[in-house]
Amino acid sequence: MLLLITFALTFALIVGAFPKPQQAQAGGTPKCRFSRTFSQAQILKDPSSFISDVLYWEGNFHQNNVSYNSGNGMSYDGTLLDETTGLATAKHPFSAASKEALQIMLYAHAIAGSPQAARFLSPNNPGAAPAIAINIMTLKLQTYLQFNKTYPGFGGFLPWYTGDSQNIVPTWDWVNRVPALDNGELIWAVYSAIQAMSSNKNYQTLAQGWQAWLDYTKLTAAKVSSMQEMGQFVPLQILQNQSFPVNDPRQSYKCEGSGTLNDPYEGELFTWWLYFFGGLSQKDKNLLWEVKRPQLVSVEDNMGGVGPITVQKGYWFSAHEQ
Ligand SMILES: *[C@@H]1O[C@H](CO)[C@@H](O)[C@H](O)[C@H]1NC(C)=O
Ligand SMILES: *[C@@H]1O[C@H](CO)[C@@H](O)[C@H](O)[C@H]1NC(C)=O
Ligand SMILES: *[C@@H]1O[C@H](CO)[C@@H](O)[C@H](O)[C@H]1NC(C)=O
């Protein structure tokens, strides 16, 4: 969800004390405090060197015990940085499907051969990037499947979890609870990773493993999201008991609070999943969109003497949730 931010972004924004105009070489090792070596005009003319430096330093976020756990392949929410040294301090040992989505999207690009993703993941040996991503995706799938075995009530989806141990566990405040919003991001990230893996014959087995996980969420999505009549589903669901399988007579799902996930932005990824794969009637499919239509509002933006520009009214509008 949206309350926790990933602190690695500050890596790239630290401003150096000694400006020295120079063009960093794409592919080389840029100096740490590189931003002042660029002028705005240079970046506007050709942003590639700047992007390359950002990716290089951002890529330091991709370390065991900083942004992910190399033992089980799972993301961490983030790690705080010492504002003076830029070094990692306290780690958030928890994470969620939304952070998983970011990690998996990056790997999808690496597997598809993106030079930018390789710059982030493996700048000294860009050719190794796809294999790095594949190895972590292999571990991650095992962790997801084990989680589904231990906590079948989530129907394959993820709550906020603690990822420090080999097998992830729901954080204390997400026992028997699951968010639709974050999982909407996750399923489409996995969808894209499968697309990337499928185009390489060496990755077919892994692609099939992930496809099986993804296909399973198609069967459980409507139930776990407490899909109600009238095309409504809600952001948060309470499970009777996370250890009971989805179709166990002892299992049940109920909505937490009265909010519905009917916004035209953050909740939309899960809506699409239900629409395409949730096994809904045509009537319910149509209702999914009808109930959210009133929230699609246009606004005239007038700022700094520019405008009016017609934009879609947002709420949080965090980039990874739009
Ligand atoms: C992981 O990082 C934390 C700081 O966030 C540190 O206390 C701990 O020792 C590290 N663990 C390992 C195995 O390096
Ligand atoms: C998840 O667990 C359920 C219940 O045990 C099982 O039926 C299903 O096949 C599992 N899903 C995957 C992808 O293994
Ligand atoms: C789920 O049910 C099992 C078996 O009845 C019980 O031991 C466990 O405490 C329950 N877990 C939760 C989180 O309610």
Q: Provide the residue ranges of all domains of the chain, joining segments of one domain with +.
A: 2-321
Query: What distance separates the 2 farthest-apart alpha carbons in the chain?
Result: 68
- The mean pLDDT value of the chain amounts to 86
Nearest CA to ligand 1 atom 9: 65
Nearest CA to ligand 3 atom 1: 241
Reported as a single tens digit per residue, the pLDDT across 282-291 is 988 888 888 8
Give 322 Cα–ligand 2 centroid separation in angstroms.
30
Q: Does residue 65's CB lie within 6 angstroms of at least one atom of ligand 1?
A: yes
Q: Identify the residue with better confidence: 195 or 252.
A: 195
Q: H or E segment at 277?
A: helix 268-277
The contacts of residue 318 (CB under 8 Å, 6+ apart) are 2, 266
pLDDT band for position 69 (cuts 50, 70, 90):
very high
Q: Identify the residue with better confidence: 300 or 226.
A: 300
In this structure, are residues 213 and 141 in contact, taking their beta carbons and an 8 Å threshold?
Answer: yes
Q: Does residue 90's CB lie within 6 angstroms of at least one atom of ligand 1?
A: yes
pLDDT band for position 312 (cuts 50, 70, 90):
confident
Give 252 Cα–ligand 3 centroid separation in angstroms.
13
Give percent of the chain with pLDDT exceeding 70. Answer: 85
Structure tokens at 320: 């990874």
Q: Does residue 309's CB lie within 6 angstroms of at least one atom of ligand 2?
A: no
Q: What is the pLDDT of residue 109?
A: 98
pLDDT band for position 3 (cuts 50, 70, 90):
very low
Task: Name the region of 233 (left: φ>0; alpha: ψ -120 to 50; beta: rest).
Answer: beta
Give percent of the chain with pLDDT exceeding 90. Answer: 63
Ligand at shortest distance from the CA of 65: 1
pLDDT band for position 232 (cuts 50, 70, 90):
low
Q: What is the pLDDT of residue 96?
A: 96
Q: What is the pLDDT of residue 318?
A: 67
Q: Identify the residue with better confidence: 168 or 314.
A: 168
In this structure, are residues 237 and 176 in contact, taking their beta carbons and an 8 Å threshold?
Answer: no
| Cα 58-193-187 angle, rounded to 5 deg | 100
The contacts of residue 84 (CB under 8 Å, 6+ apart) are none
DSSP code string of 171-204: -GGGTTEEEHHHHHHHHHHHHHHHHHHHTSGGGH
Residue 239, SS3 per DSSP: strand
Reported as a single tens digit per residue, the pLDDT across 5-56 is 333 333 233 333 333 334 434 456 898 889 999 999 999 999 999 999 999 9
Nearest CA to ligand 1 atom 2: 65
Nearest CA to ligand 2 atom 14: 145
Reported as a single tens digit per residue, the pLDDT across 119-164 is 999 999 999 999 999 999 999 999 999 999 999 999 999 999 999 9
Q: Is the pLDDT of residue 314 over 90?
A: no
255-270 core/surface letters (b: 16 or more CB in 10 A; e: else): beeeebbbbbbbbbbb
Q: What is the pLDDT of residue 12?
A: 30
Q: What is the pLDDT of residue 15?
A: 31
Q: Does residue 145's CB lie within 6 angstroms of at least one atom of ligand 2?
A: yes
Ligand at shortest distance from the CA of 81: 1
Ligand at shortest distance from the CA of 71: 1
pLDDT band for position 307 (cuts 50, 70, 90):
confident
pTM: 0.87
